Amino acid sequence: MMMPWLRKTVLKKLLLAVAAMIEARTPHTAILATKLPLEVEREDMRPQWLRRLLSTGQLRSDRELEPFARDALRMASSGGQTVVIAMDQTDLSDRLAILMVSVRIGERALPLAWWVEEGAANLGFEPQRQLLDKIREWLPTGTPVLLSADRFYGTVELLRYVRRVRWPYRIRLKSHFSVDTGQGELTTTGELAAGCRERYLPQVTLFAEGVPTAICILQEPGHPEPWIIAMDCPPTRARVLDYGLRWGIEPMFSDLKSRGFEWAESHLEQAKRLDQMILIMALALHWCVRVGWNDPLELPTPLEKKAQEQTSDDHWNVRKMLRSRLSWFTRGLRKLYRLVENGLPLPLFWVPT
C-alpha cells in the first residue's frame, strides 16, 4: 500500500486533491475546489473540504513525498551516474519565501524537499541543513553527488557543510565576498573577476573565517555578469560549466508556475497551507513526469522508433525527433488527459521499487 502511515481517509483526500490539481492546473482554492471529484450536499462544502485538508496536521510534506523522492534519486543515480542536487529560492508575491531542493533527471529537475516561511525573507542556513540532511538519508548508498547552488547559498555554513559530508559542489558566489589568495593582500571576489574572461584559483580562502576552496571565474559572451564559482576540485572550464546543470530546476519551476500549475495564482498566506499545496502540486508533477518518461519506452511514436534504429546522434531522424520532443511533464499530462477522455485505465500513481 502506498503511504501506509496515513489513515485511509486522509490518503484518499490527498489523492483526490492531486487528481483535481491535474485537471484544474491551479492552486487557486476556489477553482481547484470545483474540480474535486466529491459528492456534496452543497457546493460551498467543496472549498471547506479543501481548506480542512490544507490545514490538517496529519500531512507532512517530507514524509508523504519521500517514496517519490527516493524513486527520483534512484532514477538519477542509475548506471552509477552522479546525482545533481540543486538548491534555489523563490517567493510568492512577497508573502511567502520558498526554498526548493531538486534532483536533475535528464534535462529537467524534480522536487525533493522544500521549506516555506512567511515573509519575503532570505532563508538562512538551518532550513538548508535540514533539507539536505533528509536527502542524504534518501540517497542510495554510495551514490556520487554534486551540489549546485545559486548566489543565495554561497555562505560559510554551506561550504563547511559540503566539505564535512564530502559532497562535490559548484556554488556561485556574490561579488563582495572577501578572498585571501595567499599572495599578501585581501581582495574580493568581484575584484578578482574584474576585466577577465577566465581565471582559475585552485587554493584560496573565503570570508573572514578563512574557508578553503577553489574558485573559477568565467565571463561568457552576452552575459552581463561573470560566473564566480566555488568548487571542491582543481578548477577547469569544463568543471565550472558543471554549474549550468542546476538550470534543470528552471523547467521544474516553469511547470509549477506559468507552464503547469500556476502556483502564483495561490492566495494562501499561511506557510503551513502553502506547504501542503506544494505537496499536492509536487505529487502531481512527479506522476506526470513518470508517465511522460515511461510513454516513449512503452508506446514510442513512429518517429521515435525510427530514431531508435539509428546509431548516430547526428542522423536527421534523431535531430527531428529531438526538435519535436515534448517535455516529460507535458507528455505525461497529455497522456493522462487522453486516457481519462477515452475512459481507459490510468497508469499507477506510484510504482514501488
Task: List pLDDT tens digits, range 137-184.
Answer: 999 999 999 999 988 788 899 999 999 999 999 999 998 999 998 887
Q: Closest Cα to residue 16, out of 53, 44, 48?
A: 53
pLDDT, tens only, 318-335: 565 455 556 888 889 999
- Which pLDDT does position 319 carry in this prediction? 61
Q: Average of pLDDT values for 41-67?
A: 90
Q: Is 126 exposed, middle or buried (0-12, 13-18, 19+ CB in 10 A)?
A: exposed
Euclidean distance between the first and final Cα of the chain, in Å?
A: 13
Summarised one tens digit per residue, pLDDT across range 205-220 is 998 888 999 999 998 8
332 contact partners, CB below 8 Å, separation of at least 6: 287, 288, 289, 290, 291, 292, 293, 295
CB 179 within 8 A of CB 189: yes
d(CA 189, CA 180): 10
Backbone angles phi, psi at 112, to 5 degrees: -110, -45
Decide which of 1 and 251 is more confident.
251
Question: Does residue 130 register a pLDDT over 60?
Answer: yes
Residues 6+ apart with CB under 8 A from 97: 89, 90, 91, 116, 117, 118, 119, 120, 121, 122, 123
Q: DSSP code of 261?
A: T
pLDDT at 1: 57
Question: Which pLDDT value is given to residue 43?
Answer: 85
Q: In what order do the strands lie in the sheet with 108-118?
A: 108-118, 96-105, 83-92, 145-149, 169-172, 227-231, 211-218, 198-206, 178-180, 186-188
Q: Is the pLDDT of residue 63 over 60?
A: yes
Is 118 a residue whose pLDDT tops 60?
yes
AA identity, residue 329: F
Please report the pLDDT score of residue 293 as a whole number. Answer: 87
Which grid coordinates are listed for 215?
574558485
The whole-angstrom separation of Cα 185 and Cα 315 is: 55
